[in-house]
Structure 1
Amino acid sequence: MKSRKHSLRARLLIWLIVPTTIFGIVAGWATHLNARRTADLLQDAALLAAARVMAADVRWNDNDLVASVSPSTIQIVGTPEGDQVFYRIEIAGGAVIAGTSDFPRTRLSASPQWYDAQVAGSPIRAVSLKRAMFDNGKTIELVVSIGRTLVARDALVASLWTPQIAYILGSIAVAMILICTGLALELRPLEKLASGLAVHPLKSKERIDATGLPVELHPLVTAFNASLDVIERQTATQRRFIADAAHQIRTPLTLLGSQLQYARRQHGLDEVRETLTAMHQSNRAMVTLINQLLMLAQAEAADYTAYEGEAVDLRAVITLAVEKLALVARRRDIELAVAFEGALVVTGSEPLLSAVFSNLIDNAIRYSPRGTRVTVDAKETHVNVTVSVVDEGPGIPATLRERVFEPFFRASAEEGSGLGLAIAKEIVRAHGGVVAIHDAPGGVGAMVEVVLAREQEPRRPSARTPV
Structure 2
Amino acid sequence: MKNRKRSLRARLLLWLIVPMTAFSLVAGWLTHANARRTADLLQDAALLAAARVMAADVHWNGDNLVAAVSPSTIQIVGTPEGDQVFYRVEIAGGPVIGGTSDFPQTRVTDSPHWYDAEVSRMPIRAVTLKRPMYDTGKNVDVVVSVGRTQIARDALVASLWKPQLAYILGSIAAAMVLVCAGLSLELRPLERLAKGLAAHPEQSRARINATGVHAELQPLIAAFNACLDIIERQALTTRRFIADAAHQIRTPLTLLGTQLQYARRQGNLEDVRETLLAMHHSNRAMVVLINQLLMLAQAEAADYTAFEGEIVDIREVTARAIEKLALAARRRDIELVVSIEAPLAVIGSETLLSEVLSNILDNAIRYAPKSTQVAIDARQTDGSVSISVLDQGPGIPASLRERVFEPFFRASDEEGSGLGLAIAREIVRAHRGTISLQDAPDGRGLLVKLIFPAHELQA
- What TM-score, normalized to structure 1? 0.87
Greater shift in the superposed pair: 75-84 or 93-102: 93-102
Per the alignment, do residues 294 and 58 of structure 1 end up closer, same or farther by CA in structure 2, a change over 3 Å counting?
A: same
Q: Quick check: 1:46–1:77 contact (8 Å CA) kept in 2?
A: yes
Per-residue Cα deviation, 1:89-121 (whole angstroms, up to 9, x for no partner): 344455444333443444455432323333333
- 1:334 aligned residue: 335
Q: Secondary structure at the residue paired with 2:36?
A: helix
Which residue type is aligned with residue 311 of structure 2?
A: V
> What displacement does 1:287 show?
0.7
Equivalent residue, structure 2, for 1:185: 185
| Residue 282 (structure 1) aligns with | 282
CA–CA distance in 1 between the matches of 2:65 and 2:364?
128
Say whether the 8 Å CA contact 1:48–1:127 is kept in structure 2: yes
Match of 1:126 in 2: 126
Aligned to 1:16: 16
Q: Per the alignment, do residues 29 and 343 of structure 1 end up closer, same or farther by CA in structure 2, a change over 3 Å counting?
A: farther
**What is aligned with 1:464?**
none
Once residues 158 and 65 of structure 1 are traced to their aligned partners in structure 2, the CA distance between those partners, rounded to angstroms, is 42
Give TM-score scaled by structure 2 length.
Answer: 0.89
With over 3 angstroms needed to count, the CA separation of the structure-2 counterparts of 1:350 and 1:24, relative to structure 1, is farther
Identity of matched residues, %: 69
- Relative to structure 1, is the Cα distance of residues 267 and 178 closer, same or farther in structure 2, using a 3 angstrom cutoff? same
Q: Is the 8 A contact 2:344 2:385 kept in 1?
A: no
Contact (CA 8 Å) 1:337, 1:373: kept in 2 or not? no
Correspondence 1:312 to 2:277: no
**Alignment partner, residue 248 of structure 1:** 248
Worse-superposed segment, 381-390 or 49-58? 381-390
Q: Which residue of 2 aligns with 1:465?
A: none
Gaps spanning 5+ residues in structure 1: where? Answer: 460-467
Maintained 8 Å contact 2:346/2:453? no
**Structure-2 residue corresponding to 1:446:** 446
Provide the secondary structure at the position in 1 that maps to 2:42: helix
Aligned 1:250-269 pairs, distance under 5 A: 250-269=250-269
Indicate the residue corresponding to 2:357 in structure 1: 357
Judge which range, 7-16 or 88-97, deviates more: 88-97
Cα deviation digits, residues 306-357 of structure 1 (max 9, x gap): x2634231433343333333333333332141413555232x4443333223
How big is the shift at 1:289? 0.5
- The 8 Å contact of residues 335 and 374 in structure 2, kept in 1 or not, is answered as yes
Name the amino acid aligned to 1:53. V
Q: Is the 8 A contact 2:307 2:349 kept in 1?
A: no
- Cα separation, partners in 2 of 1:266 and 1:25, compared to 1, 3 Å: same
Q: Conserved in 2, the CA contact under 8 Å of 1:344 and 1:380? A: no
With 19-28 and 416-425 compared, the bigger mean Cα shift is at: 19-28
Count of residue correspondences: 456
2-structure distance, mates of 1:217, 1:253: 53
Supply the distance in 1 between the matched residues of 2:92 and 2:367 (Cα, whole angstroms). 122
Are the counterparts in 2 of residues 311 and 455 from structure 1 also a CA contact under 8 Å?
Answer: no
Partner SS, residue 386 of structure 1: strand
Q: Which ranges of structure 2 fall in alignment gaps of 5 or more residues?
A: none
SS at match of 2:392: coil
1:7 deviation in Å?
A: 1.3
Distance 2:317 2:256 in 1: 35
Q: Distance in 2 between matches of 1:128 and 1:202?
A: 90
CA gap 1:57/1:387 in 2 versus in 1, 3 angstroms: farther
CA distance in 1, matches of 2:381, 2:126: 88
Provide the C-alpha distance between the structure 2 equivalents of 1:447 and 1:426, rounded to a whole number of angstroms.
19
Equivalents in 2 of 1:396, 1:351: separation in Å? 27
1:151 maps to 151
Distance (whole Å) between structure 2 residues aligned to residue 115 and residue 376 of structure 1:
103
Q: Distance in 2 between matches of 1:106 and 1:325?
A: 114
The CA RMSD over aligned residues, in Å, is 2.8
CA deviations over 1:108-164 (Å, ceiling 9, x no partner): 554323233333332222222332333445544443322222111111111122222
Q: Which amino acid aligns with 1:388?
A: S
Q: Is the 8 A contact 1:326 1:336 kept in 2?
A: no
SS in 2 for 1:21: helix
Residues 40-70 of structure 1 show CA distances to partners (whole Å, capped at 9, x for unaligned) of 1111111111121122222233444332322
Aligned equivalent of 2:69: 69
Deviation at 1:75, TM superposition (A): 1.4
